[in-house]
Amino acid sequence: MVTRRLPPLRALEAFMRTVRLGSARAAAEELNLSPSALSRRIANLEEFVGKKLFTRARQAMALTDEGHQFYEAVNPHFEALARAVEGQSDNLSLLRLRLGVLPLFGSQRLFPHMAQLRKLHPLLHIDIDTGPHLEDRVGDTLDAAIILSRGPERGLHAVRLDENKVHAICSAEVAQRVGNHPDEAVLAKQTFLIHNELPDSFVAWKDAIGMRDLDPSAIDHYDSGQLMLEAAAQGLGIAIMHDDHLRRADDDRLHELFDLDVDSPYSYWFVCKPIALESRPVRLFHDWLVKAGL
């Protein structure tokens, strides 16, 4: 049997970390190397594969086309190797991720798949935080978060998880009272339920029915989508929410008002600091989330 020659693993690690961090200087600091030592390791890898992986100009390094191809080919196997070692080692400690999640996303979309994640990465454990201002706490008290946003702040690594439609959701009794077609006089007498952090959803819905200046008798504000759904089911008002939440709730008490196609200003996003992707817990969760398509 022919024994294949393995690539220099330290050089491969230097290459992978440089690509993921987007900076040779940051990669050198992470690996506790001097910039010249990092450059030598990458040069050794280039010599091994016989390809120029980076272009070098002063202190900047950019992937060549062959470098991109090499990364795309190697990255899945690099992660598979890490998982294999992780699964066979009794000495590795738990991998801990501090994740911010909105409760409704957690209950409807994340938790139904957590057993699959645990089976794939048994050492990965997640501390769940459903507190306020998740985006502001990423990089501080949180490693990463799943947020509802028009678009995350610059400087964050962000992955858009969906696009949604805005629906008006209520009980059967309220739906019967409101009728099948928008009537401003009738709607003005209703109570609307609005999420504190998603006010523009109501604006988009009013625009869609041609009633931008609609002034309902009351607007009740919530900081929980789960409670909004329950309040709507109990007949306490009309919840302005995403169609996805209505579908996933699968609650016969809930009904949609009118037949409208209203684009939501907001989407769910996974966010973290770019450097956090070098943290194995963040990377494992990020890659699983994107692949799972929750």
Residue 128, pLDDT score: 94
Cα angle 73-76-81, degrees, rounded to a multiple of 5: 120
- CA dist 289 and 281 (Å) reads 12
Please tell me the predicted confidence (pLDDT) of residue 58.
62
CATH superfamily of 166-265: Periplasmic binding protein-like II (3.40.190.10)
Beta bridge partners of 128: 99
- Residues 121 and 283: their CA atoms lie apart, in Å, by 12
The pLDDT, as a whole number, for residue 97 is 93
What pLDDT is attached to residue 82?
67
| CATH code assigned to 9-88 | 1.10.10.10
Q: According to DSSP H, which parts of 170-253 are helical?
A: 172-178, 184-187, 199-208, 225-233, 243-249
CB 274 within 8 Å of CB 153: no
Q: What is the pLDDT of residue 208?
A: 93
pLDDT of residue 280: 86
Q: Report pLDDT for 166.
A: 93
Distance of alpha carbon 100 from alpha carbon 139, whole angstroms: 11
Residue 244's nearest CA partner among 221, 265, 268, 214 is 268
C-alpha span between 140 and 274 (Å, rounded):
13
Domain boundaries, the chain: 9-88, 95-163+268-292, 166-265
Asked if the domains 95-163+268-292 and 166-265 are classified in one and the same CATH topology, the answer is: yes
8 A C-beta contact, residue 193 and residue 228 = yes
Q: Is 253 exposed, middle or buried (0-12, 13-18, 19+ CB in 10 A)?
A: middle
Report CA dihedral (82, 84, 89, 94) to the nearest 10 degrees.
60
Average pLDDT, 10 consecutive residues per value, the chain (294 residues): 71 85 78 85 90 78 87 80 62 80 90 92 92 88 92 86 91 94 94 92 94 94 92 96 86 91 91 87 92 82
pLDDT of 116:
93
DSSP 3-state of 58: coil
CATH number of 95-163+268-292: 3.40.190.10
